[in-house]
Amino acid sequence: MPMSPRTTVTALLLAAAAALAATAPAGAVTSHGLNGYVTDADTGLGLNGSSVTWNGTTSPAPQVTTDGTGRFLFTGLDPGTTGSLAVVGPAGWDRKSVGGVTLPATDLGTQNVPLHRDWATPAGGASASANDGSVPGCASAAAVDNDRATGWSASATRPADDPPALTVTLPQTIDVRQLVLDPTSACDHAAGAALGRYRVQTSGDGASWATALEGELGADARGAATMLSPAVNAGGVRYVRLQLLSAQDPASPTIDVRELQVFGVGPNQPPAGTVSAGAERNYIKGIVRLRASFTDADSSILRYLWDFDGDGRYDQATNGPAVAHVWSGPGVYHVTVGARDFRGALGTASLDVRITDPSALVEAVPQRKPLITFDPPLGIDLPTRIACASKCTFTAKMVLTARTAKRIHAKRRTAMTFKRSTVAAGLGSWTLTLPNATVKLLRKAKLKTVTVRLTASAVDRQKRRTTVHRWVKFR
Ligand SMILES: [Ca+2]
Ligand SMILES: [Ca+2]
Ligand SMILES: [Ca+2]
């Protein structure tokens, strides 16, 4: 398969073709022949209605037309022979010949052909007009007809400040990447009528113009296309003007040019879409199928990137929009899929996927408030227990009534405070005791019983709090 290994575009096309191949008719691969995709070199989109001719051993040369995906297919070609493909894109696209294509001895050969859109040709929606040239068959339209056999012949005797000029209104605003000039003489004129000095001006609005290119072509440029890449004034271009400043032979009465082509790219929007999981419930160590659904109106989508753990880094790339993943631990995972288009733009969509462990207890830890229980007082002791769903802090306070405090001459009504923590979830068990100091005061006042106000509170890690108030009588 003679494909140029030099550019990433080739690799990208291969990836796109591989993705598309999955949708090719199953029966098509059984016969000998050649297939491939004719695509837009700048957007990656398939070019429907491209004419493809195989110039090989078969006579007459077979010709086919690409389908809606840009795919073409020749069957019944001689296996192992070598030939060339002549591809003419749909109206507005360039044409290209690919030589040295050798058919495999068995199976179907593949040759993809990317074509650039020629924004200057009226067949693709441009309009063109010139200030010079009325020779039948040699008018300015012949310079933008995407046909290198025809050309525009303009007068070489115009004033220097008003040279022959061809103004092209492009069908939309683009960033110009390349201009092609074929300066070859036309209309049976001498070879020296070929375009020599030229100037290319660009404009975004048709009113203000700036020079994007200026130069001179020599005899070596005749009979061929010269590719020129403007370094300035190439962005946001809607109008292109070619000025013919001289013929290569100063004595030539005409200045001829066969073709002006304008290549470039329009605006690009990133792919937009969604991602979904194949099942409602998903479990650890089970296959979870995810599917992205993206559209992109202005370019093809080349690959999908997947972030399974929400860390912002993509963990896997796929050519197609589906992937299968296995999570080993339970949790809610923030999944993001990125769709990368032919021009490099990235669109994303996200989904939270809940992964559960089917063998885990439904409620490993009781999700409830702390419990506080008391046994009956035993003398001056009050046995106390708490139960908590997580590590818990327990506080308690005994307060004398104002009347008792006065009677026993207590300095303050609070007789006791208490604070403890459990080490983990579970039970805590302590004894709350009436302090000795209070017991002495009671004896001194000859009191055998006392009733105190007890406030006890337990709060766990989740800030769930239980508080109880009660009167406790000690004897
Ligand atoms: Ca032409
Ligand atoms: Ca796009
Ligand atoms: Ca990741």
320: in domain: yes
Q: What is the CATH number of the domain that holds 45?
A: 2.60.40.1120
Distance 323 CA to ligand 1 centre (A): 49
Out of 300, 323, 356, pick the residue that ends a domain.
356
User: Which pLDDT score, from 0 to 100, does residue 303 have?
Assistant: 97
Q: How confident is the model at residue 315 (pLDDT cuts 50, 70, 90)?
A: very high
Whether residues 134 and 251 fall in one domain:
yes
Contact 125, 171 (CB under 8 A): yes
pLDDT digits (tens, 9 = 90+) for 160-216: 999 999 999 999 999 999 999 999 999 999 999 999 999 999 999 999 999 999 999
pLDDT of residue 361: 54
Q: How far apart are CA 309 and CA 313, in angstroms?
A: 8
Question: Are 333 and 440 part of one and the same domain?
Answer: no
Separation of CA 184 and ligand 1 centre (Å): 10
Same domain, 453 and 419: yes
Based on the fold, state whether residues 337 and 285 are members of the same structural domain. Answer: yes
What CATH number corresponds to the domain at position 143? 2.60.120.260
Query: Do 164 and 237 sit in the same domain of this protein?
Result: yes
Identify the nearest ligand to the CA of 95 by its number.
Answer: 1
Question: Last residue of some domain: 326, 356, 386?
Answer: 356
Residues 281 and 214 in one domain: no
Shared domain check, 148 and 66: no
Confidence of residue 280 (pLDDT cuts 50, 70, 90): confident
Residues 171-185 have pLDDT tens digits of: 999 999 999 999 999
Q: Which ligand is nearest to the CA of 141?
A: 1
pLDDT value for 175: 97
Ligand 2 geometric centre to CA of 12 (Å): 15
Could you tell me the distance, in angstroms and rounded to a whole number, from the CA of residue 267 to the centre of ligand 2? 8
Compute the distance between CA of residue 50 and CA of residue 91 in angstroms, rounded to an integer: 9
Residues 6+ apart with CB under 8 A from 443: none
The span from the CA of 51 to the CA of 83, in Å, is 16
- Considering the domain boundaries, does residue 394 fall inside one? yes
How far, in Å, from the CA of 163 to the mean position of ligand 1?
A: 20
321-361 per-position pLDDT tens digit: 999 999 999 999 999 999 999 999 999 999 999 998 877 65
- Report how far residue 168's alpha carbon sits from residue 83's, in angstroms, rounded to the nearest whole number: 37
366 within a domain of the structure (yes/no): no
Q: Is 419 inside any structural domain?
A: yes
Ligand nearest to the CA of 334: 3
Instruction: Strands of 284-370 (E only): list them.
Output: 287-295, 301-307, 316-318, 322-326, 331-341, 346-356
Please write the tens of the pLDDT for every residue from 438-455. Answer: 999 999 999 989 999 999
Ligand nearest to the CA of 301: 2
272: confidence class by pLDDT, cuts 50, 70, 90? very high
Measured CA to CA, the distance from residue 244 to residue 165 in angstroms comes to 6
Q: Is 2 exposed, middle or buried (0-12, 13-18, 19+ CB in 10 A)?
A: exposed
The pair of structure tokens assigned to 235 is 């962005």
Q: Which of 265, 294, 318 is the last residue of a domain?
A: 265
- Is position 361 within any domain? no
**Do 75 and 97 sit in the same domain of this protein?**
yes
- Which ligand is closest in space to the CA of residue 270? 2
**Range 284-311 average pLDDT:** 96
Ligand 1 centroid–CA 144 distance in Å is: 6
- Ligand 1 (single-atom ion) residues, CB below 5 Å: 142, 145, 147, 150, 258-259
Q: In this structure, are residues 444 and 437 in contact, taking their beta carbons and an 8 Å threshold? A: no
Q: What confidence tens digit (pLDDT) does each residue in 82-141 have?
A: 999 999 999 999 999 999 999 999 889 999 999 999 999 999 999 999 999 767 789 999
Q: Which helix (H) or strand (E) holds 403?
A: helix 402-407
Distance 249 CA to ligand 1 centre (A): 21
**pLDDT recorded at residue 282:** 92
Domain check: are 164 and 218 in the same one? Answer: yes
Residue 141 shares a structural domain with residue 260: yes
What distance in angstroms lies between residue 212's CA and the mean position of ligand 1's atoms?
22
Instruction: Give residue 286's domain range.
Output: 272-356
Looking at the chain, the whole-number percentage of residues with pLDDT higher than 70 is 92
For residue 27, pLDDT over 80 is answered with: no
Q: Give the closest ligand to the alpha carbon of residue 315.
A: 3
**Is there a single domain that holds both residue 321 and residue 290?**
yes
Number of structural domains in the chain: 4
365, part of any domain: no
Q: How far apart are CA 70 and CA 331, in angstroms?
A: 44
pLDDT in tens, 350-396: 999 999 887 765 544 556 889 898 888 888 999 898 988 888 999 99
Give the number of whichever ligand sits closest to the CA of residue 337.
Answer: 3
In a domain, 329, yes or no: yes
440: CATH: 2.60.40.10
In a domain? residue 378: yes
241 alpha carbon – ligand 1 mean position (Å): 16
What's the 61 CA to ligand 2 centre distance in angstroms?
37
Same domain as 107, residue 58: yes
